[in-house]
Amino acid sequence: MDILHNLAFGFETALTLQNLLYCAIGCVVGTLVGLLPGLGPLSTISLLLPLTYSIPTAGSLIMLAGIYYGAQYGDSVSAITMKIPHASSIVACIDGYQMTLKGKAGLALFTAGVSSFIGGTFAIVVLATLAPTLGDVALLFGPADYCALMLFGFVCVSFVTTGSLLNGLAMTLIGVLLGSVGTDVNSGIARFTLDLPFLTDGIGLISIALGCFGIAEVVKNLDSGSELTPFNGKIKLMPTWPEFKRIIPSALRGSVIGSFLGVLPGGGPVIAQFAAYAADKRFSKYKDEIGHGAIEGVAGQAAADEAAARTSFIPLMSIGIPENAVMALMMGAFIVKGIQPGPNMIATHPDLFWGLVASMWVGNVFLVVLNVPLVRYWLSVFKIPFSVLFPSILFFCCIGTFSINNSLDDIYITAFFGFCGYLFMRLGMEAAPLMLGFILGPMLEEYFRRALLLSRGDFSVFVTRPISGTLIVVVTLFVVWQVTDFFMKVRKARAH
């Protein structure tokens, strides 16, 4: 009953006219920008983050969440109709595009929308029950435990996003170093500022995000130099009843898988999609059709995608540790708004927490009601040629960076990180762990120092406390496994 009561309270916040409006704007704008070729959720959020600065706290967070799932849906639309894979919708390309080729684009889009709705609803129930409980557990954590937890998160995320522990960790740690630029909180001494006055406040989150994701993406698309052909097919949206019945089991399966994988550190939508798709391939009644344009192939992964996108808020809001780059950006937005996500958030800002949860569901409704019928108009976005688009995207990057501090110097920083992001991309290094390190770095330092202060400089505190001890052991085992695995491979390669 408690949950129902809380949810009702949340809907009170979410259903004010203003917040409804912000949610709708977020969804629509998110979808539109997410549709643009080459812009996934990560770049979309970083591009639109500055827009939310002038909005009251609850509204801006609701809008951001709206942007997030709007972008996710927009992504799957472009994947289904034109086979433009983003990081977040690779799986939607497989069966979705096959369905488009068969002239069933509308059906695929409808399936994606409805399954997202099912997945999202399921995940919100999970979120509402699990997050407060986890929050209670998180209160047991001391500074040392937080340090260990973050290290654990670093290792998981670096490994999962890049597939190579070494590259990922290197990026995370560089992020941590970047995070320590600026005035030191404890002593007030300026660090790494190169005597440039605009660096004393630290490097802006937006500068890094826009540089590494926005600008780098644009240049990557310029390099590939291909102009896209717009989609001009006819779209018939509504499915027949037997078709509709096929969506349900697959979407439910996807919801469960997605909700579970979304909570794990380093997890999130991408892995959830693949897992759900694999599960469908294994257990679905129509498994032979999957891969050749089956409804299940779209429904399961869309549900998992959405469910994981929601449940990945759980670690962020209950423990205060973002588990992937998108959540790290969200966390940055929370902090900008003066809210520290973590166990205390539910207690100190119940209206925000439950409002956000409720607005997620409202956002889902918007997606189905607004976006699905309007999708044929959205598709006209693709008729804009890229040569018109990219100067505009660059311009919005500039305005976005500028508007945070009203400082043109920030644009230089963004340009610099645009170069770095491009370099990283060409070197095959993911910029996502860098983001995570950048945002968690200052927190890690804070907890690290506090832990050492409490233990009077004794490092054994990290091993002797049960929670942190366990996590450190897991991390160590993981690293050892990676190292031995590498040398085994080398030996095998030598043997051949």
In angstroms, the CA 370 to CA 81 distance is 18
Q: What's at 22, amino acid-wise?
A: Y
Q: How far is the CB of 118 from another protein (least distance, A)?
A: 36
- Strand, helix or coil at 183? strand
List, as one string, the DSSP characters of 209-248: HIIIIIIHHHHHHHHH-PPPPPP------PPPHHHHHHHH
Check binding of 474 to another protein (CB under 8 A).
no
Residues 16-75, interacting with another protein (CB under 8 A): 51, 54
Can you tell me which of 20, 125, 134, 177 binds another protein, judged by CB under 8 A? 177
Check binding of 427 to another protein (CB under 8 A).
yes
Supply 145's token pair. 């435990």
Check binding of 409 to another protein (CB under 8 A).
yes
List, as one string, the DSSP characters of 290-332: TTSS-HHHHHHHHHHHHHHHHHTHHHHHHTS---SHHHHHHHH
Check binding of 414 to another protein (CB under 8 A).
yes
In angstroms, the CA 359 to CA 340 distance is 20
Check binding of 169 to another protein (CB under 8 A).
yes
Tokens 């509709």 appear where? 244
* Alpha carbon 456 to chain centroid, angstroms: 38
Can you tell me which of 406, 456, 495, 496 binds another protein, judged by CB under 8 A? 406
Distances (CA, A) of 203 to 164, 191, 301: 27, 12, 37
Check binding of 434 to another protein (CB under 8 A).
no
Check binding of 354 to another protein (CB under 8 A).
no
| Nearest CB to another protein, comparing residues 3 and 453 | 453
Tokens 């804070």 appear where? 446
| Nearest CB to another protein, comparing residues 244 and 396 | 396
Specify whether the CB–CB gap between 60 and 337 falls below 8 A. Answer: yes
Tokens 């340009």 appear where? 415
- Bridge-partner residues for 190, per DSSP? 183
List, as one string, the DSSP characters of 269-287: HHHHHHHHHHHHHHH-TTT
Can you tell me which of 32, 125, 170, 475 binds another protein, judged by CB under 8 A? 170
Can you tell me which of 9, 192, 274, 478 binds another protein, judged by CB under 8 A? 192
Check binding of 193 to another protein (CB under 8 A).
no
Check binding of 176 to another protein (CB under 8 A).
yes
Size of the site for another protein (CB under 8 A): 57
List all residues 6 or more positions away from 283 whose beta carbon is below 8 Å from its beta carbon. Answer: 253
Q: How far is the CB of 288 from another protein (least distance, A)?
A: 37
| Nearest CB to another protein, comparing residues 197 and 466 | 197
Check binding of 391 to another protein (CB under 8 A).
yes
In angstroms, the CA 350 to CA 326 distance is 23
Check binding of 12 to another protein (CB under 8 A).
no
Check binding of 426 to another protein (CB under 8 A).
yes
Q: What is the CA radius of gyration of the chain?
A: 22
φ/ψ of residue 279, rounded to 5: -65, -40
Can you tell me which of 32, 87, 134, 166 binds another protein, judged by CB under 8 A? 166
Residues 204-243, interacting with another protein (CB under 8 A): 215, 218-219, 222-223, 225, 227
Can you tell me which of 277, 390, 438, 462 binds another protein, judged by CB under 8 A? 390
Can you tell me which of 41, 254, 265, 418 binds another protein, judged by CB under 8 A? 418
Supply 238's token pair. 């509504």
Binding site for another protein (CB under 8 A): 51, 54, 166-167, 169-170, 173-174, 176-177, 180, 184, 186-187, 189, 191-192, 215, 218-219, 222-223, 225, 227, 386-388, 390-392, 394-395, 397-399, 402-403, 406, 408-409, 411-412, 414-415, 418-419, 422, 426-428, 441, 445, 448-449, 486, 490, 493
